Structure 1
Amino acid sequence: MANTKSSLSKASVVTDFKEITKMGLSISVVFSALAGYLLSAETINYTTLILLALGGYFMVGASNAYNQIIERDLDALMDRTKNRPIPAGRMSVNTAFIIATSFTVLGIITLYIINPKTAMWGAISIFLYTSVYTPLKTKTPLAVFVGALPGAIPFMLGWVAARNGFGIEAGTLFAIQFFWQFPHFWAIGWFLYEDYEKGGFFMLPTGKPDKGTAVQIIVYCIWTVVVSIIPVLGFTGDLKLSIVGAILVFMLGMLMLIFAMRLFQQRTAKAAKQLMLSSVFYITMLQIIYVADKFLR
């Protein structure tokens, strides 16, 4: 019986650690950073790849832990978040703070070993997410714009890790992920609207799931697709995209746009969820296509 309790408590600790650092989200961010590195690297350094993966995970894990410390009282009000480690009482604020600060230090050190500019962008990301985006979420819908800044850093972070510099290429990768986040997060804000309302969060541009929000989602889907195929024109330095790659990305974008149009027509939580899933599919496949296009060209 004691052994069963012990193993259950160990499993709970692991689960809570995954949740306080949002492991799933952190891994998707690491995927973006590694894709950016592979696009940039002339020769692949596997030590740098490992450091980037670790540093990226620490960076996002720290941001998420700080976020859950700051929002613990609001998290307790929402069905989606009330069972998180802190509001559910399974983890103390002190423990969460130790995890957050440890991850911050480890993340910056790990990224600094790659090069100082990578560490600098990692530190900027943590600061913006924790100190600007998180407090603004209960005050203004512009919080999504602010949150899109740190959210767009990982894709370009990989490029900076390989080149130790920020240019038109890193800026283009930043822009792709920046514009993509608006339809993605507004779709989430739409189907979780009632839950977010309980916590007092303003996540939609008009403040509610209406036609105006749906129109803005469509506009940002179009911007995302336009920015995503710009490298085919040859204006973005070493970041290139073949005609075939651009067509594939464009088709992916049209799929996402179809779901955005469907949300405009139906204005339902189900349509918003479908758009969110299509946006995740879009950014994941875009990164795979970009990398494959580089190595198959």
Structure 2
Amino acid sequence: MGKTITSTARPSLISDFKEITKIRLSVSVVFSSLAGYLLGVETVNYQTLVLLALGGYFMVGASNAFNQIIEKDLDALMKRTKNRPIPSGRMSVSTAFVIACVFTILGIAILYVINPKTAMFGAISIFLYTCAYTPLKTKTPLAVFVGAIPGAIPFMLGWVAATNDFGIEPGTLFAIQFFWQFPHFWAIGWFLFDDYKKGGFFMLPTGKQDKGTAVQTIMYTVWTILVSIVPVFGFTGRLCLTPVSAIVVFLLGLGMLYYAIQLYKKMTVVAARQLMLASVSYITLLQIVYVLDKFLR
């Protein structure tokens, strides 16, 4: 008995808090939001930047805490997630629920201070992630389509925070991150296929690691690339892209497409992992290129 307690109690309270709110994922979401803000703003307001970063973190933290409460029994079945705070018994459901509720209130309140529209999209994101995406994961591969909506909100959220307006510009930012989610999620679904299967999760479009899934991954990668260069044609309002930056983004996209094609050719876990890493690099570099393009123009 003593041994069990020692082994499960090893992670600290701070590391459990980081785990329940998925701090690494939160940081990537905050990065997207701040990139969207810099693209939309006329003059940078550092107070708004800080509020957006905090609100974004609380928003994602809340979604993840609710997610881990709902999936606690399934998480216990999977190697990747069985040592999370709730299934391992280090954190009670009630503690996690308090964290989730406090984070929801703080996230929406902070985003509301920026402007009401930002708070509204933040609330929609938490609701869809928790009440639609999470329950659907064990029912249908269409869960990825639903999950792509809250997943695509952060980039757009930054623009709305900067302008208090939703139009073609944040719509385009939303579309970029929406289409990008598919090759990203399906790559993860592929290399974690066996583990997801233990938890009863259906993440791949065909439900299998097959050519059908690989073909759809390529297709959505192409859509991502096309949507990403749309601003160069000048019909996305204030969201513009110079030809040089559009070429850079296009070449980055070809890099991701290369790994999507490799997955089709090799059909291996290694190829799927490489595509996942390429997809993360792509969206991060795209956001950097977009912001630099605006400020160096």
Structure 2 unaligned spans of 5+: 1-7
For 2:32, the equivalent position in structure 1 comes to: 32
Where in structure 2 are the equivalents of 1:81-160 lying within 5 Å?
81-160=81-160
For 1:188, the equivalent position in structure 2 comes to: 188
For 2:246, the equivalent position in structure 1 comes to: 246
**How far did residue 135 of structure 1 move?**
0.3
Count of residues in Structure 1 that have an aligned counterpart in Structure 2? 290
Q: Separation in 2 of the partners of 1:39 and 1:245?
A: 14
Match of 2:153, SS? helix
Match of 1:128, SS? helix
Could you tell me whether the CA contact under 8 Å between 2:129 and 2:147 is conserved in 1? yes
TM-score (norm 1): 0.97
For 1:266, the equivalent position in structure 2 comes to: 266
Q: Separation in 2 of the partners of 1:230 and 1:131?
A: 32
Q: Separation in 2 of the partners of 1:262 and 1:153?
A: 29
**How far did residue 9 of structure 1 move?**
7.1
Q: Which moved more, 1:83-92 or 1:9-18?
A: 9-18
For 2:4, the equivalent position in structure 1 comes to: none
Q: Separation in 1 of the partners of 2:238 and 2:173?
A: 12
Q: Separation in 1 of the partners of 2:296 and 2:115?
A: 29
Q: Separation in 2 of the partners of 1:211 and 1:120?
A: 40
Q: Separation in 1 of the partners of 2:115 and 2:38?
A: 16
Match of 2:12, SS? helix
For 2:5, the equivalent position in structure 1 comes to: none
Where in structure 2 are the equivalents of 1:4-19 lying within 5 Å?
12-19=12-19
**How far did residue 207 of structure 1 move?**
0.3
One-letter identity of the residue aligned with 1:116: P
Q: Separation in 1 of the partners of 2:165 and 2:127?
A: 21
Q: Separation in 2 of the partners of 1:170 and 1:149?
A: 13
Change in CA separation of 1:11 and 1:136 when aligned onto 2, cut-off 3 Å: closer
Q: Separation in 1 of the partners of 2:83 and 2:269?
A: 22
Q: Percent identity?
A: 75
**How far did residue 47 of structure 1 move?**
0.4
RMSD: 1.1
Match of 1:44, SS? coil
For 1:5, the equivalent position in structure 2 comes to: none
**How far did residue 10 of structure 1 move?**
9.9
Could you tell me whether the CA contact under 8 Å between 2:9 and 2:90 is conserved in 1? no
Match of 2:229, SS? helix
Q: Separation in 2 of the partners of 1:270 and 1:84?
A: 25
One-letter identity of the residue aligned with 1:234: G
Q: Separation in 2 of the partners of 1:77 and 1:201?
A: 11
Could you tell me whether the CA contact under 8 Å between 2:152 and 2:177 is conserved in 1? yes
One-letter identity of the residue aligned with 2:118: T
Q: Separation in 2 of the partners of 1:118 and 1:133?
A: 21
For 1:230, the equivalent position in structure 2 comes to: 230
Q: Separation in 2 of the partners of 1:162 and 1:271?
A: 39
**How far did residue 281 of structure 1 move?**
0.1
Q: Separation in 1 of the partners of 2:215 and 2:242?
A: 31
Q: Separation in 2 of the partners of 1:31 and 1:10?
A: 31
One-letter identity of the residue aligned with 1:291: V
Q: Deviations over 1:139-182 (max 9, x none)?
A: 00000000000000000000000000100000000000000000
Change in CA separation of 1:210 and 1:118 when aligned onto 2, cut-off 3 Å: same
One-letter identity of the residue aligned with 1:199: G
For 1:74, the equivalent position in structure 2 comes to: 74
Q: Separation in 1 of the partners of 2:150 and 2:167?
A: 18
For 1:294, the equivalent position in structure 2 comes to: 294
Q: Separation in 2 of the partners of 1:189 and 1:86?
A: 23
Q: Deviations over 1:39-96 (max 9, x none)?
A: 0000000000000000000000000000000000000000000000000000000000
Does residue 1:48 correspond to 2:48, yes or no? yes
Match of 1:259, SS? helix
One-letter identity of the residue aligned with 1:237: G
For 1:171, the equivalent position in structure 2 comes to: 171
**How far did residue 129 of structure 1 move?**
0.2
Q: Separation in 1 of the partners of 2:9 and 2:148?
A: 36
One-letter identity of the residue aligned with 1:121: F
Structure 1 stretches of 4+ with a deviation exceeding 4 A read: 8-11
